Amino acid sequence: MDEIKNLPNFRPNKTPVKKTVKEVIYYVVGIVLSLIFILPILYMLATSTKSESAYAESVGTLSMFLPDFANLGIAFDNYKSVLVNYDIWKYALNSFIYAAIVIVLNILINGLAGYAMAKLTFPGKKLLSFMIIFLIVVPVETSIIPLYSIVKIMLGLKQEMSVIGVILPAAISIFNIFLFMQFFQNIPKEYEEAARMDGANTLDVFFKVIMPLSKPILATVAVFCFIGVWNDYLWPSMILPAADDGSWSLLPIQTALITIKSIEGITTGEIMASLVITSIPIFVTYVAAQKYIVQGFGTSGLKM
């Protein structure tokens, strides 16, 4: 061992101090950022299990991030209250139905548009490609008032038509068209050529060849559509009418949260329980489809 140390080219295997300091800073910053994001979630979960008196006692202390261990028997009373007394499950069901319809329409309409832009040749294709990229950077809020005027003129915003007014604008997404277009461009054209040699037309190629090869981007678009519909508040509140007494409300879950918060006598625990209920579907959906989302972005040539 001493002979090795005496060699002229020998260098001891020591971790540089500078590298160690960088690693320490990296982990410290990571832990701090994690706490910044986790603490509000812990606060929401803990408060959703407490009575109003227990919540008032915990404010300003570390126990505000912990459940009320002394009264664990009533931990789910707030959840039962918002589900039974405030019918939040009805609004959640509305959002699930809206999301399912929007996902199907997005995949069909935007998928066909993306396929046409990626694989077909037609006049004005370059102009349309430029418009797609341009419209991606245009804020959605700038089009809400013109869109409302168009929907109101075309549909009249009656009870039956108001649901269509919520679904149709969400069925077309410039960003989803761009995702499909980028993904389909990476599919080898040999698959299409082989299908056409077997007598398949353009729609057959799309539905029987392209779509089965596009599971990652389909999952990505489905998750984005679900999250978008589930979190949408402004547009449905403008389009959908308020429910009459005794009738089934057409409002989605986010508009229900605003309504519940304004109810006289509702407790902080019940409000937090409502937030937990509305957060669970998004969390489960994203975790279940995370692998496909990463694949979808990777094969679309986009950086996450």
Domain boundaries, given as residue ranges, for the chain: 2-73, 86-299
Task: Output the pLDDT for position 3.
Answer: 53
Which tokens hold the place of 174?
């410039």
Average pLDDT of the chain is: 81
| pLDDT band per the 50, 70, 90 thresholds, residue 302 | very low
pLDDT tens figures, 216-235: 888 888 988 998 899 888 88
Share above pLDDT 90 across residues of the chain, in percent, rounded to a whole number: 6
Helix axes of 268-299 and 77-84: crossing angle, nearest 10 degrees: 80
**Global pTM?**
0.79
CB distance 236 to 252 below 8 Å: yes
Average pLDDT, stretch 97-113? 92
Nearest to 111 by CA among 196, 188, 225: 225
* pLDDT of 156: 66
Say what the pLDDT of residue 160 is.
60
Q: What is the pLDDT of residue 124?
A: 82
Using CA atoms, how far apart are residues 210 and 205, in angstroms rounded to an integer?
6
Span 86-299 CATH architecture:
Orthogonal Bundle (1.10)
Which residues, in sequence order, are CB contacts of 296 under 8 Å at separation 6+?
179, 183, 216, 217, 219, 220, 221
Query: Is the pLDDT confidence value at 304 over 50?
Result: no
Residue that wins the pLDDT comparison between 215 and 13: 215
SS3 letters across the chain? CHHHHCCCCCCCCCCCHHHHHHHHHHHHHHHHHHHHHHHHHHHHHHHCCCCHHHHHHHCCCHHHHCCCHHHHHHCCHHHHHHHHCCCHHHHHHHHHHHHHHHHHHHHHHHHHHHHHHHHCCCCCHHHHHHHHHHHHCCCHHHHHHHHHHHHHHHHCCCHHHHHHHHHHHHCCCHHHHHHHHHHHHCCCHHHHHHHHHCCCCHHHHHHHHHHHHCHHHHHHHHHHHHHHHHHCCHHHHHHCCCCCCCCCCCCCHHHHHHHHHCCCCCCHHHHHHHHHHHHHHHHHHHHHHHHHHHHHHHHCCCCC
* 125-145: average pLDDT: 81
Cα distances from 65 to residues 3, 40, 200, 272, 284, in angstroms, run 60, 8, 60, 13, 23
Across 15-29, average pLDDT: 79
How many CB atoms neighbour CB 261 within 10 A?
12
Nearest to 195 by CA among 180, 206, 184: 206
The stretch 164-190 carries a mean pLDDT of 87
**Per-residue pLDDT averaged across 68-86, rounded?**
80
Mean pLDDT along residues 197-219:
86
| Structure confidence by residue, pLDDT tens digits, 232-279 | 888 888 888 776 666 777 888 888 888 777 777 788 888 888 888 888
Give the pLDDT band of residue 14 (cuts 50, 70, 90): low
At which residue do the structure tokens 């707030």 appear? Answer: 78
| Amino acid found at 52 | E
> Is it the case that residue 50 has pLDDT exceeding 50?
yes
Distance of CA 297 to the CA centre of its chain: 15
